[in-house]
Amino acid sequence: MSTTQHTARPLLAITMGDPAGVGPEVTVKGLADGEMLAISRPLVIGDRRVLQAAAQATGVTLPIRGWKSAMEATFEPGGIDVLDLDNVDPREWGWGKLSAASGRAAVEYIQRAMELTNAGTAAAIVTAPINKEATTLAGHSELGHMEMFSKAYGAKNQATMLVSGKLRCVHLSTHYSLAEAVARITRERVLQRIVTTHEDFRRWGMPSPRIAASAINPHGGEGGLMGREEIDQIAPAVEDARKMGIDARGPYPGDSVYVRAMRGEFDAVIAMFHDQGHIPVKVHGFEQSVSVALGLPIVRTSVDHGTAFDIAGKGIADAESMRESIKVAAEICAGTWLQGA
């Protein structure tokens, strides 16, 4: 394969996630699709033996090519390339088995992926799911991927964006109780989310993204009769953004703004709490949904599902979210993701 062909396709560091979950399965199933190799150079960061077991469980017949360094990988058709960290003890490992060892291994894949990206070897990171209980048992206090990336890069304005087709939802908050999430709706935080979204979309090729803010109360608060968050916090933040030259709009009632975005009226919606953004995305296209990180100095996409220990090893996990995560990462790196959006 020529150097020119290599240069045209970004190298993606794909972490296989918790070894005991469905991450290894969706990774090998996703990479069995020849389109993934046509648009990128996918390098799995994981354990070759676990990936071989995943291939056997899923009926994937492609050989798993293990390498000790990213520079050795060939990315030739007819195989799956893995940077083999060889960090899973087969005597202790098992599908669906929660353990500190698996949590520790999953974090090591993330750390190696960051090393490759920081060195410029990888253009982006694509992550399979980790198990927060397992990583906690392994001594890592961060709740999830975003917390790990934010700590590593000192990011202050990071955000999670869920994507399914034209629907892109940026979350004001994610893993908080509903009461705490509402308390976190402030003018400053809403403005920060709008600005972060605007900046990353511009960086990825969309000069003037149309960003809508969702309301939190029924009917947008009905002029304060059903709550004042829209009047006191969200609307002022939208106006602040507009004064900065950002095409910010709203707030719009939560029961209609997402439909309008699906129809192409907005390029992104700021969701005010976890389920307000997750539900419309997953109803719109559950299998195709992808998580995209905003506010980081790197490109990072992820599957939008968990480790699913209950079905791990059965070969039935759907790999569509992994394929979409790879596609989105490759398109962001190529500067084509938001073109024509």
pLDDT of residue 285: 85
pLDDT of residue 308: 95
Q: How far apart are the first and last CA of the chain?
A: 33
Q: Print burial letters for 251-283: b (CB count within 10 Å at least 16), e (below 16).
A: bbbbeebbeebbeeebbbbbbbbbebbbebbbe
- In the chain, the domains with their CATH numbers are 1-154+297-341 (3.40.718.10), 156-295 (3.40.718.10)
Percent of the chain with pLDDT over 90: 82
* pLDDT level of residue 175 (50, 70, 90 thresholds): confident
Q: Print burial letters for 156-189: b (CB count within 10 Å at least 16), e (below 16).
A: eebbbbbbbeebbbbbbbbeeeeeebbeebbbeb
- Pairing state between β 300-303 and 290-294: antiparallel
* pLDDT level of residue 3 (50, 70, 90 thresholds): very low
pLDDT of residue 340: 60
Determine the average pLDDT of the residues in 11-23: 97
Nearest-angstrom CA–CA distance, 326 and 288:
11
Percent of the chain with pLDDT over 70: 97
How confident is the model over 257-276, as pLDDT tens digits? 999 999 999 999 999 999 99
Q: What's the token pair of residue 125?
A: 């990171």
pLDDT of residue 140: 84
Q: Is the dihedral of CA 294, 300, 304, 310 positive or negative?
A: negative
How confident is the model over 143-159, as pLDDT tens digits? 688 888 988 899 889 99
Q: Is the pLDDT of residue 232 over 80?
A: yes
Nearest-angstrom CA–CA distance, 133 and 97:
12
Q: Is the pLDDT of residue 328 over 70?
A: yes
Lowest mean pLDDT among 48-62, 176-190, 205-219, 277-291: 277-291
Q: What's the token pair of residue 203?
A: 């960086």
Model-wide pTM > 0.85:
yes
Q: Is the pLDDT of residue 294 over 80?
A: yes
Q: Is the pLDDT of residue 235 over 70?
A: yes
Average pLDDT value for the chain: 92
Q: Is the pLDDT of residue 118 over 80?
A: yes
pLDDT of residue 338: 87
Within 10 Å of residue 108's Cβ, how many Cβ atoms? 17
* pLDDT level of residue 2 (50, 70, 90 thresholds): very low
Where would I find the beta strands (DSSP E) of 200-271? 211-214, 248-252, 268-271
Q: Give Cα 22 to chain centroid, integer Å.
A: 16
pLDDT of residue 221: 78
Nearest-angstrom CA–CA distance, 66 and 81:
6
* pLDDT level of residue 6 (50, 70, 90 thresholds): very low
Dihedral angle at the C-alpha atoms of 175, 181, 186, 188, nearest 10 degrees? 0
SS3 assignment, position 299: coil
Determine the average pLDDT of the residues in 111-134: 96
